[in-house]
Chains A and B, each alone.
Chain A
């Protein structure tokens, strides 16, 4: 799943005929002033300025300002750009026109196992969150498009009447088109409002999650995906991602500040069991990592270096199940090189390494790991006869 920020998200909705406010994403107050000279709407409308970052509760943080004129918006932009919130530095601000409205509604499309679900409510904003039973749903099988009658029925069930029901049905239909054609996994507009000037329904906000795997058939996805957990990616995380995008197989790395147990396990499935074992033992994870699909040794080496660079770690868990086709000797070769480099750079002092693995060329790989003892590493190596997560128990045994 790949989260898309509001600007590009609204761009996609606009592409599918959904009314959105006039908006612009700027990176400085100067840029906004210049845009103000050439865009009449910036001078004529009241404006909203929001930090354009993957941040929750922006309102509380003072990163949403409403009812501004252009000067006010420039000032707000100046104030927001460069602000530090956790690990995120605000680098973009989205400025949009305020749409005068009275009523607020809700519309979303989400992915389900069978296909998708269209959600509609005749309340919006915070109100819908506390009145979730007012949300009405239309379930669709994959490959099936909703008929206008079904959409209108949905709108009526949600309490819309008359021409508004027709408009809401039309709005939801466009949302579905956008969802289906753009390989979205989740689209949410909260609130949808009736624009007083012409009575059209307008999307005031956009939550957009796209299927990153479908990027190959969307050459117009020229935006970057945002990190999904309330912070931007670190330099090391981005370096591993860059490696991951280049190789056969995969390497993954996410830092968890404050932990002391570093993870370097193999396999998308086993890695989570290892993380569970650490937490179950009362340990604190310093990261999540995983390599799989027989990645090249140099990629595993890069991953190892990043893991060894985590601050304050006491143990490194080099776990893994019995591989199907990942060459244990080759991938361990990458890990060993990474360990040697880290040691050469003065890292790994007082760090214990725990290894458990099976699979093609397991004996050679495990022997090579054992030999690291002679080079002064504090390393404990186990084979397939030791159950998967027992090394975590041994590592965290007090």
Chain B
């Protein structure tokens, strides 16, 4: 048996992330004791209508989230307990809502920093209704082998080490969350473990005091002794002593109190718990509490360290008198499934990767490009073209090659609003479409007729050079197998109206002392084609392609240079239209040649 929390306890958790974390811990305990999850619902208005996923064993359980306690208990009428994880400024409202629901008998508040007055009002309201209000600042309540409310008990390993999977004979009441776990552990090592452990919270006026819980333990036949861990401040320990001394009690009481150091410290010093404060006239001191407990007949070890042996002595007496029997440990206990990460760390599983990458790694404190940390590249003077070299061709290019790439990008960053790409982006921008979609609208124009000839131009020029073709052989080959030569020809530019960009790039590259077989070949081709027709000149795509092949970039990456460069311009056009708040573009009908059939009658449907 146990008190407050048992196998019939069904829970609603009020609150967000902290509540979900508690539910996970509670699910671990339910899994350990082989019982279904005791959390039925969450109440958290911002996420109402959704669900929280709680791992149970190797599966996931979806727990519904409601807006109000009433909705939760209407849909889950077995709920009888609420855990409050709401912020201090709204905790009282939430606690009251739970107390006022007829289904709910126990409310435990985990929230810290709740105003004293609010805690008192909640405690008084619960007493009026004959319900239990535990906390605020409670770590939770746990009944061994039966029910866990909150994170009390700690990690899964600790639940096992502290033998919380089966009940013992000791009740525990503490103000401190950390110490509750410590005492549970001590009870499992020096005795047969606990029945129920309750964190009442370290505030000055906890909703329920030691005496109420001592009464419950007294009426729980499984509990043979109760360990109370007190601290200076308030009068809860004195009241517990008074209760214990008032008449012969069935349970043994073991008590320790902290705060003796107070006697040798500056007055009024503030300790970790809000309630740990000595009264004006010495009442509430560790000594007065400790003396009161001793006088009542309780076992009071001199120090915390002596608590283990005291619990052991008590247990041995209980064994001798036949009140308890040595517990039988289960042969096999469930083990908490490991996450993939944990199992991999322990070399227990092998996972076939879903994708493979050979260019970059994000797992450290910064990205590495082909193994080189980004910050080191920056600090050693490398620039964007080098990053392109690393990510597109996995090599650190030379300063000279980087300069060529930089110039290519500068020359092809934009070409005014009329070309297909920019016009596509502008059209989308004027329709109120966002940046990434509008830029994408421009980018999808890049293809065989606009900007997308770089890769093909590079491929064919390279094919000719690799196969030592003459210009004539090449033109014949192209005509027979592929059609017009990519990279040759321009819609508006011609021999008499040359493309300045081509002239600039060719001039720069030729001024360097590098071998440019592809560029040279492309220029020879131009001489032949332009002689046939004025506008069959080497265009910017073809020039870029030839130069990039000459400095060693793989053919498949070539269109990337145009796409990357032109993205600069497309972003500019979108921002420009946005800033002007341009209106929607619609074609005028006089710009359309309506070549569709004239209006006519629709025949009857057959």
Contacts and interface: CB of A to CB of B under 8 A. Distances in A.
A326 to B, nearest CB: 8
B304 A389 contact: yes
B181 A324 contact: yes
Contacts of B179: 267, 269-270, 273, 321
Interface in B238-271: 258-261, 263-271
Given A272-B231, A276-B286, A279-B264, A1 B112 contact: no
A279 B308 CA distance: 20
Contacts of B181: 321-324, 358-359
B267 A229 contact: yes
Interface stretch (A150-158, A198-206, A212-220): A212-220
A145 interface: no
B260 A267 contact: no
B317 to A, nearest CB: 21
Report the contact-size class of chain A (Cβ under 8 Å from the partner): 35 or more
A96 interface: no
A320 B118 CA distance: 31
Contacts of A250: 272
Contacts of B123: 142
A266 B181 CA distance: 13
Interface stretch (A29-37, A72-80, A286-294, A303-311): A286-294
Interface in B172-189: 174-182, 185-186
Contacts of B263: 279
Contacts of A115: 120, 124
Contacts of A360: 154-155, 158
Given A271-B272, A273-B304, A321 B117 contact: no
A280 interface: yes
A292 B178 contact: yes
Interface core residue of A267, A272, A326 (most chain B CB under 10 Å): A272
A323 B114 CA distance: 22
B265 A269 contact: no
Nearest to B87: A216
Nearest to B308: A387
Nearest to A363: B157
B117 A183 contact: yes
Contacts of B304: 273, 276-277, 387-389
B269 A214 contact: no
Interface string A117-159: 0000000000000000000000001110000000000000000
B305 interface: yes
Contact of B116 (A213, A229, A388): A213
A398 interface: no
Interface residues of B, number: 68
A390 interface: yes
B88 interface: yes
Nearest to B152: A324
Given A285-B261, A322-B181, A269 B272 contact: yes
B154 A322 contact: yes
Contacts of A277: 303-305
Contact of B265 (A256, A321, A323, A326): A256
Interface in A314-368: 320-326, 358-361
Contact of A213 (B114, B258, B264): B114
Contacts of B139: 324
Nearest to A1: B277
A323 B113 CA distance: 20
A270 to B, nearest CB: 5
A228 interface: yes
Interface core residue of B116, B232, B286 (most chain A CB under 10 Å): B116
Interface in B30-85: none
A166 B252 CA distance: 53
A359 B116 contact: no
B70 to A, nearest CB: 23
A279 B117 contact: no
B120 A384 contact: no
B229 interface: yes
Interface core residue of A113, A213, A256 (most chain B CB under 10 Å): A213
Contacts of B177: 267, 269, 292, 324
Interface in A149-194: 180, 183, 185
A268 B272 contact: yes
Given A211-B117, A322-B178, A278 B261 contact: yes
Contacts of A288: 265, 269, 271
Contacts of B186: 387
A214 B235 CA distance: 23
B15 interface: no
Given A142-B120, A213-B274, A322 B175 contact: no
Interface in B113-129: 113-118, 120-121, 123-124
A46 interface: no
A211 B113 CA distance: 10
Nearest to A142: B120
B168 interface: no
Contact of A269 (B116, B178, B302, B303): B178
Contacts of B276: 268, 272
Given A290-B272, A324-B152, A285 B265 contact: yes
A213 B115 contact: yes
A142 B124 contact: yes
A321 B186 CA distance: 11
B234 A269 contact: no
B271 A387 contact: no
B255 to A, nearest CB: 13
A216 B259 contact: no
Contacts of B89: 216-217
A322 B197 CA distance: 15
Interface core residue of A268, A269, A323, A389 (most chain B CB under 10 Å): A269
A281 B21 CA distance: 40
A111 B203 CA distance: 13
Interface core residue of B124, B151, B178, B205 (most chain A CB under 10 Å): B178
A323 B268 CA distance: 28
A208 interface: no
Interface core residue of B115, B140, B161 (most chain A CB under 10 Å): B115
B421 interface: no
B202 interface: yes
B185 A322 contact: yes
B171 interface: no
A355 to B, nearest CB: 15
A254 interface: yes
A67 interface: no
Nearest to A279: B261
- Give 4 nearest A-B pairs by CB, closest first: A269-B176, A268-B272, A267-B178, A321-B182
12 contacts: A1-B274, A230-B267, A230-B268, A252-B271, A268-B202, A268-B272, A270-B182, A276-B260, A279-B260, A285-B265, A324-B140, A325-B154
Interface of A: 1, 111, 113-115, 141-143, 180, 183, 185, 211, 213-214, 216-217, 228-231, 250, 252, 254, 256, 266-273, 275-280, 285, 288, 290, 292-293, 320-326, 358-361, 384, 387-390, 393
Given A214-B116, A321-B182, 19 more contacts: A1-B274, A113-B120, A142-B117, A268-B178, A268-B273, A271-B272, A272-B259, A276-B286, A276-B304, A288-B265, A292-B177, A321-B176, A324-B177, A325-B21, A358-B181, A359-B155, A359-B158, A388-B304, A389-B304
Interface of B: 21, 25, 88-89, 112-118, 120-121, 123-124, 139-140, 151-155, 158, 161, 174-182, 185-186, 202, 204-205, 209, 229, 231-232, 234-235, 258-261, 263-274, 276-277, 286, 302-305, 308
